[in-house]
Structure formats: structure tokens, C-alpha cells
Structure 1
Amino acid sequence: MRRKIKRIALLIITNIFVLLQCLPANATDDLVNPMQTYLSIETKLKYENMMQSYQKGYEPIVEDEKVILVLPLKVEKGIKLDSNKLTASIKVNDGTTIPFKMRIYEKVFNLETVKSKSGKSQELYLVTFSLPLDENRINGSYPVNIQTKYKVKGQNVVQDFGLYINIKDGTEAESSSSTDAMRTENNLEVPMSEPAVSLGGNTSDTTGSENQENSGAPKIVVTKCSVSPEKPIAGQEMTFQLVLENKSKMEAKNLKLSFDSELGEIVPVGMQNSIFIDTLKAGGSQTVSFTMKAQEAITKVNQKITLSLKYVDKNGAELTDDQILFVKLGQPISILVDKAVINAEVESGKKTDVTIKVFNTGNTTIKNCMCSLDVDGLTDGGITFIGDIEPGASKQGKITAAVTQKSLGKEGATEDEKYGSTEGTLTVTYEDPSGTSYQEERSVRTKIKKSSKEDSDDKKSVKRSSQWSVSLVIGMLFIYIMTAIVLFIRKKRQP
């Protein structure tokens, strides 16, 4: 009987101990939210094969018949990818035109310490792809998706990042033909048949020009022409520089060079629209320059300037010549970027949209408008492409971001450090038709609140902790009672 009681008591004690071990304080600590993403783009630094950081409007390098994509990815604080590696691949939607050769592009990248061009080192996954370009590529902007796959605590996670490839060295989608073939030299359009701008005779009287040349009269030729700045803008001043050379064996005297705009939309700076040269010896040359200013409101991009040249030969005979120059004028960029719009309060573990509206208030098309987000606690999928915006039009950009925590993964972080008010910037980048980049920044503010699931988990954790404490007390009390019973029976049976 005594042995039987001992066995029963030992069995009860063992079972209670096992049950207590199976009651953890928080059974959800090691679970991973399958909707959560844990990678974000490192936006502030430049790395190998990057001309600018993502914050400054990163654009993939296109050269040597290839395009190089660089995606520096950092892991949220306190998070570790299983095996410290991820798999990245290039994804393109069916039917989408691409400028590179279609192949399967997939690589495995390991976590490594990477030094930026400024010398600062960071631990990140430097995702890099070198894609061979198609020989028949067409100029334009092409969206490309880099898909990453990785595991966190055994849970599979898929996260996409969007990039845009700008092709400028391909063929035009629509080519326009012209009866007058032209070439461009320093933004000046010159007839293809002429190696330089010629002022050697009256362009409207070919016979007179030939007679002038055959008679040995002075022949003045423009051997060089340029305009500064190289890309003149409407509303700004521009300086033309011409090199006049006397190609004949006769001296030219009393040269007068006048310049006038056909539409009157480019006017001389100052009171004079003429330049005077006393003599230009046979075989000699003279550099002349003059400054003009274009009106802000122009009716044509291609402006015509008439150069009128008058001079006399050694016999006092007056010679005249008119030469036409064309100059392409760019339009000044003018945009209005509205405030960034986001919910005043967002919930951790869910997704939220951040929108921005861009208005083109100028007279020229805004090219390759994009936006990116940099806010603690909000993880986006990279750069969002807004597109080209025509004059007078507007477009909206929308970034869908995953809401995490302000100090995700920080050990010992308090509730105030994890949740509450957070702020950062939304950066809008864009280009003018010449490819010059600009950017605007807008502040983003919101409040991150704890998700209902996290609240529920906390309550369950407290409840489990209370249940565990009660179970422990009951178990100890039961052990005490059973021990007392055994001792009582043993004492009772002693003689």
C-alpha cells in the first residue's frame, strides 16, 4: 500500500511539472507576420555603379551596351534573415516592352559589409544586376520589378521593389522626316550640306555668289559657331560666338554684322544689334560675339535669327550677305508639388497609402517624375514612377508602405519608442526635356498605433502569465497535500 501511494504521488508530481513547462509566458514570441516585410532601400548613400543615391533620384547607369541595376537593401533593426541571404530576380509583366534582352535573371545575395563612395560602411544586401541591352531598343522609360524572396524564422517572405530604366541612346519611337536635312552644332541647327555657317554671299542669289567668288572678291565664311549656355532657356540671356574667316585673297573693309530675330521674340541685350570690324585681311579670321535674350513666352521652340553682313572690297564695292541661324530654346521648368497626404493615424502590421500631387505650371513637359519615401516605421517598395506631365496637367503619385514600428527590433524599446508620432520626407524627382534633374521634398507626419493583434497578444500574454502563476500555486499546494497524506499514512502504520 505504501509503495502504491508513493508511485501515485510521484506520477502526479511529474505530470504537474510537465504541464507547467508547457505553459510559456508568451506563445507568440517566435511567430512572424506573413504580411510584414523586413527590407528597405538604403536611400542616403551612393555605392558602386551608382551615380547618385536613391534620395537624390537614383537612375540606373546605361553604357557599353548594358544597364546596371543597383538596389542596396537594409534589414530592419533586430531582424535577421535566415542564413543571411536572399534571392532576387527580375520580373517583367507579360506584354511589357523592355530595352534589355529577355532572359532569366536570378541571383542569391548574402549579407555583407559594403563601403559607400563616401567611405561609410554598412551591412546590407547589395543587389546588382548587369543586363545586356537589346540592339533595337527604343528611347523611353521602362518599369522593372526586382522581386526578393527570403525567410525570417522559417517564414517565407516575398517583397518587390520597382525601378525605372531610362534609355536615351536608342532609336526614337516616332521619327519625323524633313525636306531640309539639318545637323546640330552646340545647339545651333546648320544645314547638313554645309560644314559650317557660310557668309560668303547672298544666299538668295546663288549666281551672284559664284560671280563674287570668281571675281576674286572677299569671301567671308563662319568656320565656328556656338551659343552659351549650350542649352538656352526662354526668358534667359544667351551669347552667340562666331568665327569669321576671309577665305579669299582680297582684304575686306568696313564690315558690319547685324542680327535680328524673325519673330521678334529674341532681342539684343543693349541698344545695338550690330558689330563693326574695320578690316579682315585675306586669310585672316576674327571672333565676334553678341548677346541676346529670349522672351519667357515664345511661340516656337526653333527660333530663326538672320545674320546680315555688309562689307566693301579694295575698290569700294559694297557686298552684302544674309545667313540664317536656328537656335532651339528650352522652356523653363515650373511645377507645384502639393502636400503629402497620409492618414493621421496608421496601424502597425498593416499597409497605408501616401499620395502626392504634382502640377506642371510651366510650358514644357516634365519628364520621368518619380517619388520616394523615407519615414521611420514606414517601409515602401522603392521608387514610385509618376510619369511625364504635360504643360497645364497634373498627376498623382501613390506609395503603398508597410507600417512597422519606429524602432523595430531595438532591444528594450519602450512603447513610446515603438509607437506614436513619426515623421520623414517624401522626395519628388523629375527632369526637363534636356535630361537635367531636379527634386522637391515634402514632409510626412503620422502616428503609428499598436495593432489590434498586438493588443490581443499582450492581453493573452498577461492572461497566460496569470494562469501560469495560478497553476503553479495549485500545483505546489497539491504536492504539499499529497506529501502530507503520505507522511500521515506512514506515521499511522508505524507500530
Structure 2
Amino acid sequence: MKGNDMLKRNVVTILIILMTILLVSTNIYAAPKSPAVVISEYKIEPEEISPGENFKIKLTLNNYGEYHARKVKLTLKDKVEEEIQDMQSGEIQSKEEQVKLNNFSPINQSNVKYISLIKADKKEEVVYDLYSSPNMKPGNYNLVVSLSYMDSNGKVYTEDQIIGILLSEKESIKVLGKGDYGDISIGEEVESTINIVNNSITEVKGVTVSVEGEGQNNYTEYLGNFNSGDFDSYTFNTVFDKEGKKNINVKVSYIDGLNKNTEIEKKIKYNVKSGENIDNSNNKEEGNAFIRFIKGLFGF
């Protein structure tokens, strides 16, 4: 009898434990007994944007609650920390976090959007057209999306959610200079020059120039860091020992304001001829010019 009683007690205990686990897990995974609006996804188009460019933010709002969310209001803001000064002494008393849209400007709309209803377990999409200030530096920026909505009883729910925007840097370095040196002679040493300009608003580091071509036309030189607006000229000599159309590739590598390694390339062309061919082509051009002059003089 005692054995049966013990068995019954153990079975009852196991059943109670199982029922408790079932109740707890049900509570964990049950949807909230209220509307619960969350930014479940957002996309930025185009994916890569730079200061001074237009772009779109597409927000997907999902209501994970059991009740409909009504009169949904979205307000897009920056987080800005402002210093509060004492009016008499001028000393800084405290720092207060203000929310306003400084670095990004809405285009043909305000920073406030409305959705009349997001049903339970449904989603809606909101699109902002924005312009990034050209004075912004490349980097990651946070935008605050302030949400407010109410349930069917008029109870209001508010919260702030944050999304991130990465501003990339436009091509910081420009390589300028002559791209075609025309006819040159075999064995002639030609001086070629490029100009390197940092046209970004940030410093670029580790600027290195590499010249790549056939034969002995290969050089590498480290030029250092370039502040915004800095420029430098780089001159190198080229010599070719065979006829034909030749190319020299000039590569400029650097580290931009986002610590990203970047490389740009400029191709320079040369038409290598023997000295005799260059003389003949020059004489031919002079002869053609004389013939054109005679024809023009007599109206032919």
C-alpha cells in the first residue's frame, strides 16, 4: 500500500510541475494584451549615401500586440545634447538632451507622419524623403523615431526607437593631369605629371602613389597625409624601348575618414614610334596644312 501511495504522490508531483512549465511558457510567448508597435525593419535607398545627397528611409512598423494600434504618430528626430547656462554667471549648469532634426532635412514633407490604424499582428510601411547636410562628416548617425499610439479605450502609448544611418565618403582624392602624351620616340625620356587633390572635408591618411608599366617604368612613393583641400604634384619619367601604343597605370591609395582603404587609378597613354616615323608624320602634317592653305586660297 505504501508503495502505491508513493507512486501516486510522485505522479501528482510530476503533473503539477508539467502544468507549471506549460503555464509559464504560455505567458512568455503570448502576445501583449495591448498594441505593441515596433520598427521591425528599415531600409535606406540608395544603400550608400554621402553628405549632401538625397535618400529615402523606409520604415516597416509591426504591431505585435493583441489589440489594434490607433492614431499612430511618428516623429523623426536627431539626438542633440545642449548645454544649459546660468543667465547671470554664464557658467554651464547642466547638459540637457534635446531632440530635433538638425543634420537631415525632410524633402517636401515634415518630419511627422500619421497612420490611422495598424491592426493586431499586421504591418504598415512609412517612407521619409531626406537630405543630408553637406557639412556633415562621414560616419554613423543615429535618428530617433518617436512613436505614439492608442488602444480602443483611448490609452496612449509612447516610446522612442533608434535607427542608424551610415554616411559614406565620396571619392576623397582626385587624380588630375594629362591622360595622353601622344607620339614619343623610342628611348625618349618623357616627364609625366599628375596632380593629387583631397577634395573631401576630412583628412585622408597614408597617401601612396604607385606607377606601373612595362620595362623600368615602375615606381612607388609615400606622400603622407592630406588635409582637406591639400594638393600635391607627382612627377615621374617614362622610357619605352619598343614601338606601339603603351599605357602607364598610376594608382593612388589612401585611408579615408571612415578608416577605409581606397584606391583610385588613372591611365596615361603614349604612342611610341621610331624617330624616322615621327619625322615622316610631322612632314605629312605640315604638307597637309600647306595643301589646305592653297585650296582655301583659290576656293577649291
TM-score when normalising by structure 1: 0.37
Of residues 313, 324, 328 in structure 1, which corresponds to 2:162? 324
* 2:59 partner SS: strand
Of residues 97, 103, 106 in structure 2, which corresponds to 1:268? 106
For residues 293 and 342 of structure 1, what CA distance do their matches in structure 2 show? 39
Kindly indicate which of the two structures has a greater share of residues assigned to strand. Answer: 2
* 1:248 partner SS: coil
- Which residue is 1:394 aligned to? 231
Task: Summarize the Cα distance change of 1:280–1:387 in structure 2 as closer, same or farther, 3 Å threshold.
Answer: farther
Work out whether residues 188 and 239 of structure 2, in 8 Å CA contact, stay in contact via their aligned partners in 1.
yes
1:235 has 2:46 as partner: no
Counting only pairs closer than 5 Å after superposition, residues 380-459 of structure 1 correspond to structure 2 as 380-382=216-218, 384=220, 390=226, 391-406=228-243, 427-428=250-251, 438-441=264-267
Counterpart of 1:265, as a letter, is: N
Q: Which protein has the larger Cα radius of gyration, Structure 1 or Structure 2?
A: 1
For residues 179 and 32 of structure 2, what CA distance do their matches in structure 1 show? 76
For residues 138 and 181 of structure 2, what CA distance do their matches in structure 1 show? 45
Task: Summarize the Cα distance change of 1:228–1:348 in structure 2 as closer, same or farther, 3 Å threshold.
Answer: same
For residues 309 and 426 of structure 1, what CA distance do their matches in structure 2 show? 54
1:358 has 2:196 as partner: yes
Deviates more, 1:379-388 or 1:341-350: 341-350
* 2:177 partner SS: coil
- Which residue is 2:94 aligned to? none
Work out whether residues 243 and 273 of structure 2, in 8 Å CA contact, stay in contact via their aligned partners in 1.
no
For residues 260 and 383 of structure 1, what CA distance do their matches in structure 2 show? 51
User: How large is the RMSD of aligned CA atoms in angstroms?
Assistant: 4.3
Work out whether residues 341 and 356 of structure 1, in 8 Å CA contact, stay in contact via their aligned partners in 2.
no
1:253 has 2:63 as partner: no
Task: Summarize the Cα distance change of 1:322–1:361 in structure 2 as closer, same or farther, 3 Å threshold.
Answer: same
For residues 262 and 314 of structure 1, what CA distance do their matches in structure 2 show? 32
Counting only pairs closer than 5 Å after superposition, residues 64-143 of structure 1 correspond to structure 2 as none
- 1:232 positional shift: 1.5
For residues 307 and 300 of structure 1, what CA distance do their matches in structure 2 show? 22
Q: How many residues align?
A: 221
Task: Summarize the Cα distance change of 1:270–1:430 in structure 2 as closer, same or farther, 3 Å threshold.
Answer: farther
For residues 216 and 328 of structure 1, what CA distance do their matches in structure 2 show? 36
Counterpart of 1:339, as a letter, is: G
TM-score when normalising by structure 2: 0.57
Of residues 339, 354, 366 in structure 1, which corresponds to 2:177? 339
Work out whether residues 389 and 395 of structure 1, in 8 Å CA contact, stay in contact via their aligned partners in 2.
no
- Which residue is 1:285 aligned to? 123
For residues 402 and 305 of structure 1, what CA distance do their matches in structure 2 show? 56
- Which residue is 2:134 aligned to? 296
- Which residue is 2:290 aligned to? none
For residues 250 and 220 of structure 1, what CA distance do their matches in structure 2 show? 10
For residues 125 and 179 of structure 2, what CA distance do their matches in structure 1 show? 56
For residues 348 and 286 of structure 1, what CA distance do their matches in structure 2 show? 70
1:312 has 2:129 as partner: no
Work out whether residues 237 and 291 of structure 1, in 8 Å CA contact, stay in contact via their aligned partners in 2.
yes
Per-residue deviation, residues 191-236 of structure 1 (Å, max 9, x unmatched):
xxxxxxxxxxxxxxxxxxxxxx998332212222222222221111
Counterpart of 1:394, as a letter, is: F
Counterpart of 2:155, as a letter, is: A
Task: Summarize the Cα distance change of 1:339–1:274 in structure 2 as closer, same or farther, 3 Å threshold.
Answer: same
- Which residue is 1:223 aligned to? 40
Counterpart of 1:223, as a letter, is: S
Work out whether residues 118 and 124 of structure 2, in 8 Å CA contact, stay in contact via their aligned partners in 1.
yes
Unaligned runs of at least 5 residues, structure 2: 1-29, 81-101, 277-300
For residues 387 and 320 of structure 1, what CA distance do their matches in structure 2 show? 54
Task: Summarize the Cα distance change of 1:340–1:215 in structure 2 as closer, same or farther, 3 Å threshold.
Answer: closer
Per-residue deviation, residues 358-384 of structure 1 (Å, max 9, x unmatched):
11122243887655467xxx7444574
For residues 355 and 298 of structure 1, what CA distance do their matches in structure 2 show? 33
* 1:403 partner SS: coil
For residues 291 and 342 of structure 1, what CA distance do their matches in structure 2 show? 43
